[in-house]
Amino acid sequence: MPICTTRDGVEIFYKDWGQGRPVVFIHGWPLNGDAWQDQLKAVADAGFRGIAHDRRGHGRSTPVYSGYDFDTFADDLDDLLTRLDLRDVTLVAHSMGGGELARYIGRHGTGRIRSAVLLSAITPLMLQGPGNPAGVPQSVFDGIKQGILTERSQFWKDTAVGFFSADREGSRATQGNQDAFWYMAMAQTIEGGVDCVDAFGTTDFHEDLRTFDVPTLIVHGDDDRIVPLDATARKSAELIPDATLKVYEGASHGIALVPGDKERFTEDLLDFLRG
């Protein structure tokens, strides 16, 4: 299997499809690189090189007990880009992966980066507070952690419904979408699941976003029940100097997987890459 060993000995699994200018996909929580298979094929077919890794503690990467913070995730990403000697890269990140992308740029700069895509991303801050009234209350994050610790298999099945807004009238989310979510979530370590909630719930990325100096596409659904649009995408678009925001009407948090939404996103992504 293709593996990148990080500076601290963690083995990061990755897919590497196609040839051409590199497009590196960063998955959301609690998923893994398999969440990007449709887009990986699309970019490879279009003449690009698509790469997607499993975050530490997720999927086929080392199931470590520690290191579930954004400085570590950003350094893991830097290890991958350095190991493969990738340059002129477009980074594409979903949900929690948006924090990894932002912290990578804030921590390592854009010397290797051509452009960025934030899809349903958690940036700049998820946690509700006086300066972020549209954010998510701490009690919600506490409930997520309790659900994982109590009976994570059923918790992931229940969570899949909201992830895809599958109970909304007219939703195109399939049972297959929900089953795939459960399968990927169960491949995440329980410690990683809990620690990542603290990481994505409370980490502030305002300063990271202000350091962006590459074209950035921001895509978010207005029926995202996991990451509130007004607290994240709209604010990110204001903070990033060269950003374009696209809001998909009726789209859930799982845009890249749901029929109809995923085709629209893939087309927008390819247009952005070619531009």
Q: Are 69 and 199 in contact (CB under 8 A)?
A: yes
Report how far apart, in Å, the C-alpha atoms of 182 and of each of 66, 107, 131 are.
23, 32, 34
| 153 is an active site residue | no
| 115 is an active site residue | no
**Neighbouring residues of 182: CB distance < 8 A, sequence distance ≥ 6:** 153, 156, 157, 160
Residue 144 φ/ψ, nearest 5 degrees: -60, -45
What whole-number distance in Å separates Cα of residue 200 and Cα of residue 204? 9
Encoded amino acid at 182, one letter: W
| 206 is an active site residue | no
Report how far apart, in Å, the C-alpha atoms of 160 and of each of 153, 163, 197 are.
11, 5, 16
Report the candidate in 201, 182, 199, 180 with the shortest Cα–Cα distance to residue 191: 199
Which one is catalytic: 79, 224, 236, 261?
A: 224
**Neighbouring residues of 175: CB distance < 8 A, sequence distance ≥ 6:** none
Bridge-based pairing of strands 243-248 and 216-221 is parallel
Report the candidate in 259, 186, 11, 213 with the shortest Cα–Cα distance to residue 106: 213
Which one is catalytic: 61, 95, 120, 236?
A: 95
Q: So which residues are the catalytic ones?
A: 95, 224, 253
